[in-house]
Structure 1
Amino acid sequence: MNEMVTETRSVIVEREMPHPPEKIWRALTQPHLIAEWLMKNDFEPVLGHRFNLRGDWGGVLDCEVLAVEPNRTLSYTWNFTHDDAAFNLRSVVTFTLTPTGTGTLLRMEQVGFRPDQKQAYGGAKMGWQGFLANLEQVLARIG
C-alpha cells in the first residue's frame, strides 16, 4: 500500500517574551500551568510519554512527547480524531526557546495540516495566538 504524499502546511507563531527560558519552560511543562494557558492535561516532560489535552469544547487530543531538551526544545504529537475524517489531524507541535538580550524568543511550530484542512489550519493560527497570549499572562503572574 503506497500512500500518496501530500504537501502539508505549518503554523508558526513567534513571541519575544521578557522572561528567562527556565521560567517559560516551567509553564510549558508543569501540568497545572499548562492547564492555565492551554488545556487540561496529564503531561509529563518524559520522552515517549503519552498524554491527552482536553479542550473546553469537549475535544480530546492524543499526544506523545517526541523531544525534551530542558529550557530549549519541547515537541509532541497533536493528534485529533473526529467522526468526520476531514477533521482528523495528525500533527506535531514544537516549542523552541532561544535566549535574547532581554528575555526569550519563543517559537511555536505546528506541522502537518493537509491542504484540504483550511478550517483546522485557520483555527490553529487563531488558536495559538490566543494560547500564547494566555501563556504571557501566566508568566507575568508566576514570578
Structure 2
Amino acid sequence: MNQTETLSVIVEREMPYPPEKLWRALTQPHLIEEWLMKNDFKPVEGHRFNLRGDWGGVLDCEVVAIEPHRTLSYTWNFMHDDAAYNLRSVVTFTLTPTNTGTHLRMEQKGFRPDQKQAYGGAKSGWKEFFANLEKVLARAE
C-alpha cells in the first residue's frame, strides 16, 4: 500500500427501528452525547462543531453532507502536538430502510497506513459507540 492510499473503518448493523428514530439519535445533541461524545452538533451542512471525549481530546468536525433519514457525513479531525497522531477523516452514516427496521452503515475513512494506533482505536471505539447507540435506541422514544 502506498502512502496516498487510506484505510477505512466500516461498521454495519441491522437495527429494529425505523430510520427516523435512528436519525434522531444521530442528529440530536443530547442523544449524541449519550452514545458518542459531548458536542455542539447541528444538522446543518457547513456547521462546524466539536466532539469532546471523556479522555480529554477534542475533535474538530464539520457537516459535509446531510440528507434527512438517509445520510449524514462529517469531518472527524484530531490535531495533536505530535503530528504523527494528527487525523483527518470523514465519518459517513448511511441509513437504509429494511422490512424489519434499518440497516445502519458507518464508514470512517482517511486513516494513513502509518496510523495503525488510530485505526485500531477507531475499530474498537466504533464497536463500543454502536453498543451505546443500541442502548439509547432501546429506551428512547
How far apart, in 2, do the equivalents of 1:31 and 1:43 lie? 6
How far apart, in 2, do the equivalents of 1:71 and 1:136 lie? 17
Deviation at 1:86, TM superposition (A): 0.7
SS in 2 for 1:15: strand
Per-residue Cα deviation, 1:105-130 (whole angstroms, up to 9, x for no partner)? 00000000000000000000000000
C-alpha contact (below 8 Å) 2:3/2:112 kept by paired residues = no
Please tell me the residue identity of whatever aligns with 2:116.
K
How far apart, in 1, do the equivalents of 2:121 and 2:77 lie? 15
2:15 matches 1:31: no
Q: Unaligned 5+ residue runs, structure 2?
A: none
In structure 1, the partner of 2:115 is 117
In structure 2, the partner of 1:93 is 91
RMSD: 1.0
What is the total number of aligned residue pairs between the two structures? 140
List aligned pairs for 1:3-22, cutoff 5 A.
Answer: 6-22=4-20
2:60 matches 1:67: no
In structure 1, the partner of 2:38 is 40
SS in 1 for 2:42: coil
Please tell me the residue identity of whatever aligns with 2:13.
R
Query: What TM-score, normalized by structure 1, do the two folds share?
Result: 0.96
Where has structure 1 moved over 3 Å in runs of 4 or more? none
Deviation at 1:45, TM superposition (A): 0.3
Please tell me the residue identity of whatever aligns with 1:60.
V
SS in 1 for 2:45: coil
C-alpha contact (below 8 Å) 2:45/2:66 kept by paired residues = yes
List aligned pairs for 1:71-86, cutoff 5 A.
Answer: 71-86=69-84
How far apart, in 1, do the equivalents of 2:15 and 2:85 lie? 33
Q: Percent identity?
A: 84
Please tell me the residue identity of whatever aligns with 2:117.
Q
Deviation at 1:5, TM superposition (A): 6.1
SS in 1 for 2:100: coil
Which of the residues 125, 128, 131 maps onto 2:126?
Answer: 128
Please tell me the residue identity of whatever aligns with 1:21.
P
Please tell me the residue identity of whatever aligns with 1:93.
V
Q: Unaligned 5+ residue runs, structure 1?
A: none
Please tell me the residue identity of whatever aligns with 2:86.
N
SS in 2 for 1:57: coil
